[in-house]
A and B are shown apart, each in its own frame.
Chain A
Amino acid sequence: MAAVIKESRSDRIFLLLNYVYLAIALICVLYPLVYIVSASISSPTYVNSGEMWLFPKGITFEGYQRVFENQSIWQGYANTILYTVVGTLVNLLVTIPAAYALSRSDFVGRGFFMAMFLVTMFFSGGLIPTYLLVKNLGLVNTMWALILPGAASVWNIIVARTFFQSTIPKELQEAAHIDGCTNLRLFWKIVIPLSAPIIAVMALFYGVGHWNSYFNALVYLNDESKYPLQMVLRQILVLQEMTGSGIGAATSGEAAMAMNQRADSAALLKYAVIIVSTLPIIAVYPFLQRYFVQGVMIGSVKG
């Protein structure tokens, strides 16, 4: 196998450019990550002054220490895990059957239902009416306010529907029916086992969505002990910003002092909190990544 075909000059140029391009792409993606990791263990003074721009400077682990001591961060962590797990289960429970039903060409009124679903993609009630609805359903200040209103994402239903249409052949369904299989059994015993990639992808889509979302929590939750992690993170960041610019507007010396203290501790905390809060998603991603490519690509190419 020594006789390797010699690469032509143009091939080599192509290859070289390819490497250069990939290297640039790598730097673009990697730099912010390295920066945040470095910032999280650097002294805030160096970070703010811009002296720390790649490698940590004035190394301190006080940020992490504060994170680990901070009760509300851990409470937020527990809440986020709960909301993500329960929320994603509910999402899957709704999305997968809906998508499968809509993928069947012998489903009566398929076009009509699809159209109704699509309407919700383009029109929504707006914040206040939605809030009133959620409130009247008695969901305000419960975890269900974060889970039920967004239980079905039409976009994800479409992606999953396309997957079913292209991977579950009609012949399979007919064969099962001839053998006396009911629709429900067909779904559980044949369709679901064949759909691991799309379920994984949906779980990742929804899961990341739940993990990162804060706005619903901001609107619907009143009780700080129910806040998800992102809300706690947001609180830290916003307070720092508010105090950074707002000390001038303080009403008394004591208030100014209090704000200053908070700004200092927020500066110390913020990068460590970012790391701690994104780590789980980064850790899970490699395991789901192969399904991710499979699932979405099948859906898109053949659809």
Chain B
Amino acid sequence: MKGSFRTHSGSSTSFFQRFKAPRTATLVLSIVLGTSLLAGCSSGSSEPQVGSAESAANVNKEGFPIVKEKITLSMMGPDVGMQNWKDMPAFQEMEKLSNISFKFENPPLDSFETKKNLVFASGEYPDIFYASSLTQADEVNYGSQGILLPLEDLIDNGYAPNLKKVLDENPAIRKSITTPDGHIYSLPVINQQSIWYRSPMWYNGDFLEALNVKEADLPKTTEELYDLLVRFRDEDPNGNGKKDEIPLASVKLDDVRSWLLGAWGIYGEDIYNDANGKVHFARTEDGYREFLTYMNRLWSEKLLDHETFSQTPDQKKAKGASNQLGLFQDWHAYFTHGGKPTTKDPMFIPVKSDAVDKPAVAIHPGLSTGAFAITESNPAPEASLRWVDYMYSYDGAMLFDKGPEGLIYETVNKEDHTKKWKPLPSEYNSREDYRGTLTPNYGTPAPTLLSPDLQKGLKEDFDLWVDKQNEEKILAYDPQPPFPILYLTPEEQSEISSLRADMDTYIQQMEAKFVTGQEPLSGWDNYLATVKQMGSDRIIEIYQAAYDRWKNS
């Protein structure tokens, strides 16, 4: 009896073993089939019919409410943990105006990317993506599969009058949100307030005061900058009797690189175009070699933080808090110093080398794509588009930037849009905390038009001071965006990704070696040859083609 059991179980094992290989193959096959089936399902139609007579009939083309009969749509967007979206006054007010209500799905900001990919994979899409940071690859990919609806026809047919006006006034924006197949799959954040391509660099005001350097005397050339950094190092500007000053602070050079590269006429740290429409790759330019030489000089004289390549942003910040840093990058200087906003620390003035007449200064393109999209499951694309179009008007942008009138601000002058702050309710620590409970446009890339008018009357002394610094130290230098926002075709995208995988690592390592002197600058030709061999010319070629396509579209 027992024996027969054993034989049985034994034989079943060997049965299994004998068929293990084919079984595995079947498994693999079925997974492959399953996946392709899945992909097949979702790519049903490549040119979907956008909207229908029925969904369009319910929509008013002008004014409010947007729909005659109340509809409910689903929306996915990132939660920053301040307030549930359904309880936000901005959404509630908008629902009253538009007659459109939403069912929200809000994964937290930090896991949004994962959730977004799962949603695309699972085939059950929200009707609307809001503040969703869709990547350009997402748009090209899911757009061509028909999951994201092309919006240009609806825009041109009067369902987005505000946006259309902006696009007509700024053809460059339209070019930048149109994918190579000629469709617009996502709506952008248009930010007319933004200036900084990278957060600026700031001088430590205490150091300057101790050394008696006036703002007007701040360095304007690389040599003057060098001299000032030497003084930071040698003259104990923090006055603690120790030589613990770090003249120039950085984390892996990512923060200071683009500012200093401008001294040699380079607009961006990666791909950029010059005034003649020629595309350059910064890391193979002669100016980049000069930059490396300069940084190596700062390094060897202990002017550049020797922990540059090992420290975290937090560690850099901690040094700032103990008043050790002379020149550093951050959004505002007081983020690094700690404490309250102060106008004591002046902004870095772009410096120039002998090689150029004026420094190259980059400015933010004022646009980021992928903020809003409508999916194929949306029963009312026309209404959805009209809904979001409100965000591109002053009133709508205001509603979603600061919440409904009368909570955090009130209007002083309706004509010129002057406003003033209302007193802060006592349960909130700061105005920003309060704002985070009013609207979803808080630390998220939401579809909107941020015009300078939005802040009118709301700027405090510190903001006005920053504006003035911008005026004098960035806008006065005829800045330009390094490279327009544009889409690559999927083929171009994948070629770039595969070329850059190794190249970027190599470039990063070599930069550190050149700067720290581990590799002498005589090795530059070698470096250049290696990068070229890794395909830098091809990368320039691809971006040149994309740039030309963008320019001529």
Task: Describe B's contact surface by its main secondary structure.
Answer: helix
Task: Describe A's contact surface by its main secondary structure.
Answer: helix
Partner-binding segment picked from B48-56, B314-322, B538-546: B314-322
Give the complex CA separation of A247 and B108 in angstroms.
Answer: 18
Q: Are A219 and B118 in contact (CB under 8 A)?
A: yes
CB contact between A250 and one of B5, B124, B331 (< 8 Å): that residue: B331
Partner-binding segment picked from A44-52, A90-98, A144-152, A277-285: A44-52
Interfacial residues, chain B to chain A (CB-CB below 8 A): 2, 5-6, 8-10, 12-13, 15-16, 24, 27, 31, 34-35, 38, 79-81, 105-111, 114-115, 118, 121-122, 124, 189, 191, 193-194, 198-199, 255, 312-315, 317-319, 321-322, 329-332, 335, 338, 368, 430, 432-433, 435-436, 442-445, 450, 463, 466
Judge whether A16 is part of the interface by a CB distance below 8 angstroms. no
CB contact between A235 and one of B10, B108, B436 (< 8 Å): that residue: B108
Q: Are B105 and A112 in contact (CB under 8 A)?
A: no
Q: Are B450 and A129 in contact (CB under 8 A)?
A: no
Set of chain B residues within 8 Å of A235, measured between Cβ atoms:
81, 108, 110-111
Q: Are B318 and A224 in contact (CB under 8 A)?
A: no
Q: Are A218 and B24 in contact (CB under 8 A)?
A: no
Q: Are B319 and A218 in contact (CB under 8 A)?
A: no
Closest residue of A by beta carbon distance from B313: A244
Q: Are B79 and A224 in contact (CB under 8 A)?
A: yes
Q: Are B24 and A123 in contact (CB under 8 A)?
A: yes
Q: Are A109 and B118 in contact (CB under 8 A)?
A: no
Judge whether A154 is part of the interface by a CB distance below 8 angstroms. no
Set of chain A residues within 8 Å of B80, measured between Cβ atoms:
258
Judge whether A222 is part of the interface by a CB distance below 8 angstroms. yes
Residues of chain A at interface, number, CB under 8 A: 52
Task: With both chains docked as a complex, state the minimum distance between the C-beta of A149 and any C-beta of chain B, in angstroms.
Answer: 15
Q: Are A251 and B445 in contact (CB under 8 A)?
A: yes
Judge whether A126 is part of the interface by a CB distance below 8 angstroms. yes
Give the complex CA separation of A123 and B21 in angstroms.
Answer: 13
A-B contact count (CB 8 A): 143
Task: With both chains docked as a complex, state the minimum distance between the C-beta of B176 and any C-beta of chain A, in angstroms.
Answer: 16
- Per the 8 Å Cβ criterion, residues 237-255 of A in contact with B are 238-239, 242, 244-245, 247-248, 250-255
Q: Are B16 and A128 in contact (CB under 8 A)?
A: no
Give the complex CA separation of A135 and B435 in angstroms.
Answer: 35
Give the complex CA separation of A212 and B38 in angstroms.
Answer: 33
Interfacial residues, chain A to chain B (CB-CB below 8 A): 44-50, 72, 105-112, 114-115, 123, 125-126, 128-129, 131-132, 135, 218-219, 222, 224, 234-235, 238-239, 242, 244-245, 247-248, 250-261, 267
Q: Are A258 and B432 in contact (CB under 8 A)?
A: yes
CB contact between A252 and one of B108, B115, B338, B450 (< 8 Å): that residue: B450
Task: With both chains docked as a complex, state the minimum distance between the C-beta of B436 and any C-beta of chain A, in angstroms.
Answer: 7
Known A224-B108, A253-B193; 13 more pairs at CB < 8 Å? A49-B319, A112-B9, A112-B13, A115-B16, A238-B110, A248-B329, A250-B331, A251-B445, A255-B443, A256-B331, A258-B432, A258-B443, A260-B332
